Amino acid sequence: MKRALAIAALTSLAACGGRAATTGNAAGFVPAQADASPGRYIKHVVIMVQENRSFDNFFATFPGAEGTTVGHTPPRKTANGTSTTYPLKKVVLAEHIQPNYKYKDYLHDYDGGKMDGFWTQNVQGHPGSILYQYVDPAQIAPYWSIAKQYVLADHMFQTVGSNSFPSHQDLIAGATTISEGKEVIDQPSAFPWGCDASVGTYTTVLTASGKYPLHGPFPCFEYRTMRDVLDEKGVSWKYYVSPVHSKAGLVWSAFAAIRAVRYGPEWNTNVSSPEKNVFADIAGGKLPAVSWVIPDFFNSDHSDTTTDTGPSWVTSVVNAIGNSPYWSSTVIVVVWDDWGGFYDHVPPPQYGFGSLGFRVPMLIVSPYAKRGYVAHKVYEFGSILKFVESTFGLASLGTTDVRARNFAGDVFDFSKSPRKFVPIAAKYSQTFFEHQPSSNMPVDSE
């Protein structure tokens, strides 16, 4: 039985809303009905996946959100006696550090719910105090502008406390269950991360009995993903991803590890590379019903990129959709794949096997999104999948989407006509990204 069915389920929110889709203004708008589905309003869902930031790291001081500028530490001697707190330092976005964030690091940082293990991490020779930081809001102004105009979720938790490989799988499959009580966790033993891996490459497995790490299978999987439920219903989809031609890997794509896609026709039709193809599809009226948009490494917000282009990259896609006929029928979800090792003060809910990982930011952009709303309810990556399923009338994957809370009834107001799009200001333009050379690097190395 898959993980979600073996643990206590959360109560899901009922889906709400309904009207026939339009492309343009609010002509023909029909107020929401209690028994209507989001699909009467929404015809396109775009999931933008950024990298490696905890909620406190980006939104520690956002008004109305549960952030903090003071972190927990183990009891320690200071000049003024004993302390269990430490102030978070304000830093620039492009600070060049690479924290630790495998499953063992999650357990270490979590420290039984005390959230003070960050302090004793060794970060490339730096003390763990370097993890007690938050990014200067001026450095990520586009994200704050989006949050002030639309929705910021301050209790979005990654599916499991680990790094990018399982997190990107969770965003297409809800879990990485390879057999009952066994899930793939952490990154594979070598690049590339998927079916193109060299012979002998293996994954790490976590068991329901707590055994970790165990030698897992080759990283080419056969479990069901959103691709299956979308195809079964005839709903169009694409996965926009940067090409990677360096030694680091072939292509950094979650579907590169899904056998049916990697060795099927959809590898050439539904996996779209480079990621900037999304601009042409928006402009050309070819945006599919469901999209995943994975950034180039330089634009990913990863802490060791030494670039500041991530917020502008996200904004360019948002603005492209906002200024197109797709605006009135689209929801854009921006989420960060894992905490990246950075401090966060909120203990994740524990549901048993595969307990939720740390908080990450989630932004929801739509003409129906509540204005400047901070969503405090508990969400997880399965919530995004559940929203897609409810919007397009899909079957459930039967993984974490079963227990996850659907955010449809919380963050949207379908009783009002879609509001006009106001462009988000950003440092770098869409033209910059359309002409930006690929980094030829994987989005992440963990």
Q: What are the residue boundaries of the structural domains of the chain, listed by start?
A: 3-69+135-434
Between 31 and 376, name the one with better pLDDT.
Answer: 376
Q: Calculate the dihedral angle through the C-alpha atoms of 431, 437, 438, 441, rounding to the nearest 10 degrees.
A: -130
Is-contact 299 310, C-beta < 8 A? yes
> Could you tell me the pLDDT band of residue 306, with boundaries at 50, 70 and 90?
confident
For residue 33, pLDDT over 90 is answered with: no
Question: How much is the pLDDT for 374?
Answer: 98
For residue 12, pLDDT over 60 is answered with: no
Please state whether the peptide bond connecting residue 63 to the residue before it is cis, i.e. omega within 30 degrees of 0.
Answer: no
pLDDT digits (tens, 9 = 90+) for 272-305: 999 999 999 999 999 999 999 999 999 999 988 8
Cα 241 → chain centroid: 14
> Could you tell me the pLDDT band of residue 355, with boundaries at 50, 70 and 90?
confident
Span 243-270, average pLDDT: 81
Q: Which helix (H) or strand (E) holds 134?
A: strand 133-135
Span 44-67, average pLDDT: 98
Is-contact 338 163, C-beta < 8 A? yes
pLDDT digits (tens, 9 = 90+) for 109-135: 999 999 999 999 999 889 999 999 999
Q: What is the mean pLDDT of the chain?
A: 89
Question: How much is the pLDDT for 17?
Answer: 31
Question: How much is the pLDDT for 124?
Answer: 84
CATH fold label, 3-69+135-434: Alkaline Phosphatase, subunit A (3.40.720)
How many angstroms separate the CA atoms of 406 and 409, rounded? Answer: 7
Angle between helices 381-392 and 164-173 (to 10 degrees): 20
For residue 255, pLDDT over 50 is answered with: yes
Write out 24-72 in H/E/C secondary structure.
CCCCCCCCCCCCCCHHHCCCEEEEEEECCCCHHHHHCCCCCCCCCCEEE
How many angstroms separate the CA atoms of 346 and 11, rounded? Answer: 21
